[in-house]
Structure 1
Amino acid sequence: MYSIKQVAAMLGIPTVTLRAWENRYSAVTPERTESGYRMYTEENVADLRWLKEQVELHQTNISEAVRMLKVNKLNPPEAVPTPIMAPVPTMEEAYARMADQIYDSLYNFQGERANGLIDFGFTMYGYDSMFYHVLVPILVRVGDAWEQGRASVAQEHFMTQLISQRFYQFFHLFPIYPHLPKVLALCPEGEHHQVGLLLFSLFMRKNGAEVLYLGANTPEEGIFPIIREQKIKLVCLSITSPGLLERCDQLVERIMNEFPHIRFVLGGKGYERAEHARYPQWIMPESSADWQSWMEREYLSERSPGARFGQANN
């Protein structure tokens, strides 16, 4: 007998997906302990593995896969042709296939189909995996296609806006902790790429910070009233072009002159490639895998000369 966490680890299926398949489609019926915890038999695990193969390898809708499973169980094995199974793809291959399908749908302005695929991906792979391994690569791909002339401005806007909306919806799933500093996230005027900013804003929301997300190409004149009225403590700026570095540094300086207690997080390839940055202490690591340790070191440590994330400024 296996717990739901053990089954999820064995099969690579998120626990939220296992529960959804059980509650919505009656895929399997695990036994229950006296405390109500699910316990899966070997047969349950085998059934779930078969369902996953149908969904991932043959692009079968989960409801249809469950129907096929029940037909197989009601009929003798010899009466039901056994499908020829291709090798199980790696998770990277599964993510790439999902990304291709969503990209093609968006490229052809098929918004409903794209949203359906994204919903299915959330159920199948979980939110984190979908964002980091599927949706973010799509946004990068969209930007490259636009720059290289393979996607029109209309296509780029449509694709970017739809995926960005899914990011915004995800923000509301996390609780906000009032003791954490309120964050303002933006790309300065002239910067139209916001993938890194979206990712970092999502990271901050997962850590419990309230984030006011202004997005790409934000005019400077609208920033100062927001900082003042919303009592912003931390400003996140992202640029992809090194050519915007000087403009961004000047914006940081003007904000500091007006609000001396404000602290910053600076990111994007524009800062990562900067050889002589004016504010190196606030530049985020390139890899998102290093963000948590960096934030704890730079903004939680009492030894930090900069701001302390999670600690109110006096």
Structure 2
Amino acid sequence: MSTYSIKDLEQLSGIKAHTLRIWEQRYNLLQPMRTDTNIRFYDDASLKLILNVALLNDNGYKISKIANMSEAEMREEVVKLTEKTLTHDDQIHALTLCMIEMDEERFEKVLSTNILKIGFEQTMLNIIYPFMSKIGVLWQTGAINPAQEHFMSNLIRQKLIVAIDGQIYKGGGKKFLLYLPEGEWHEISILFAAYLVKLKGHKLIYLGQNTPDEDLQIVYRLHQPEFLMTVITTSPNSEEVQDYIYSISERFKNSEIILSGYQIVGQDLDFPKNVRAMHYAKQLKEFMEEMDLALQEK
């Protein structure tokens, strides 16, 4: 069982901790537990409850009405809402609930519905990435357990692989080599980058997770890509990442190197001339679109 502070509930639900405390007192909405040292905490059931409450409240349901609903009634109303609304926040709430409950069928349905209605790219940019960002901090602090994180990541990964396979390379464009460094397993962002590369008609060479340095160099010498792209979330760590940047800049000096990830974004790092940091998925999309325009003007 995972445990959550009231700040965790605030971050996941978007409801201020002060408001949660008022609802707790006025409507007996939450029943916190206490540690041996009298510190309040909440369990998975409390998190699921407050996510449902947040979604209903955001859609005009009064808190007094919500407080009188049974668990089954609340869930039924939430399912109805998420099937008919395309509000991004509502869909993110729905995915978070699916993750907490590890409800694969519902998770699949929410993703598939959004992909059909707004397209794969917009689903990734406006729903999946904000969802991942929302839970990322809690995963880092241990509020989300590894099983829940793996459950969510693998389902999204499956969708990305299918989407990448659906893009047929027809020749032309630039050559991109995408990989994750040794010890790096967080693949969602680099898979989305791979999808964008193929979508825009460029040549993709994808090495995937935990790429041995020797293998990277062999493939690089063979293909001589114009662009090298990686995402650094945990490996190399913060103490090693600057040296790693200098190393790949020197070894792959004939390519433009694009970096992203937790160890890159917002960090005080020095980037050589052939290295650029990209902070968000939308920034990568904009970069690809700018490249398309440049190629068309030639």
The TM-score normalised by the length of structure 2 is 0.59
Alignment partner for residue 239 of structure 2, among 234, 243, 246?
Answer: 243
Does residue 59 of the first structure (1) align with residue 81 of the second (2)?
Answer: yes
Aligned equivalents of 1:282, 1:253: Cα separation in 2? 7
**Cα distance change of structure 1 residues 300 and 132 upon mapping to structure 2, 3 Å threshold:** closer
Q: How many angstroms does 1:233 deviate by?
A: 4.0
Partner of 1:265: 258
**Cα distance change of structure 1 residues 126 and 268 upon mapping to structure 2, 3 Å threshold:** same
Q: How many angstroms does 1:173 deviate by?
A: 3.2
Per-residue CA deviation, residues 145-198 of structure 1 (Å, 9 max, x unaligned), is 321112222222221121112112112333424222332212222444444433
**Matched residue type, 1:134:** I
**Cα distance change of structure 1 residues 234 and 111 upon mapping to structure 2, 3 Å threshold:** same
**Matched residue type, 1:59:** L
Partner of 2:248: 252
Residues 82 and 90 in structure 2, CA contact (< 8 A), matched pair in contact too: no
Aligned equivalents of 1:120, 1:298: Cα separation in 2? 31
Bigger Cα Rg: 1
Per-residue CA deviation, residues 272-297 of structure 1 (Å, 9 max, x unaligned), is 43445242443144344444554577
**Matched residue type, 2:81:** Q
Q: Secondary structure at the match of 1:243?
A: coil
**Cα distance change of structure 1 residues 58 and 107 upon mapping to structure 2, 3 Å threshold:** closer
Does residue 111 of the first structure (1) align with residue 101 of the second (2)?
Answer: no
Residues 171 and 205 in structure 1, CA contact (< 8 A), matched pair in contact too: yes
User: Unpaired runs of 5+ in structure 2?
Assistant: 1-76
Partner of 1:8: none
Does residue 102 of the first structure (1) align with residue 98 of the second (2)?
Answer: no
Partner of 2:20: none
Partner of 1:148: 141
Does residue 133 of the first structure (1) align with residue 138 of the second (2)?
Answer: no
Calculate the aligned-residue CA RMSD, in Å.
3.5
Q: Secondary structure at the match of 2:127?
A: helix
User: Unpaired runs of 5+ in structure 1?
Assistant: 1-54, 63-88, 302-308
Residues 242 and 273 in structure 1, CA contact (< 8 A), matched pair in contact too: no
Residues 184 and 236 in structure 1, CA contact (< 8 A), matched pair in contact too: yes
Q: Secondary structure at the match of 2:257?
A: strand
Residues 178 and 230 in structure 2, CA contact (< 8 A), matched pair in contact too: yes
Count of residues in Structure 1 that have an aligned counterpart in Structure 2: 217
**Cα distance change of structure 1 residues 138 and 261 upon mapping to structure 2, 3 Å threshold:** same
Aligned equivalents of 1:126, 1:137: Cα separation in 2? 16
Does residue 200 of the first structure (1) align with residue 193 of the second (2)?
Answer: yes
Identity fraction in percent = 19
Does residue 173 of the first structure (1) align with residue 166 of the second (2)?
Answer: yes
Residues 98 and 106 in structure 2, CA contact (< 8 A), matched pair in contact too: yes
Partner of 2:155: 162
Partner of 2:8: none
Aligned equivalents of 1:95, 1:279: Cα separation in 2? 37
Q: Secondary structure at the match of 1:115?
A: helix
Aligned equivalents of 1:96, 1:61: Cα separation in 2? 13
Residues 231 and 260 in structure 2, CA contact (< 8 A), matched pair in contact too: yes
Per-residue CA deviation, residues 26-70 of structure 1 (Å, 9 max, x unaligned), is xxxxxxxxxxxxxxxxxxxxxxxxxxxxx99943868xxxxxxxx
Partner of 1:86: none
What does residue range 273-288 of structure 1 map to in structure 2 within 5 Å?
Answer: 273-288=266-281
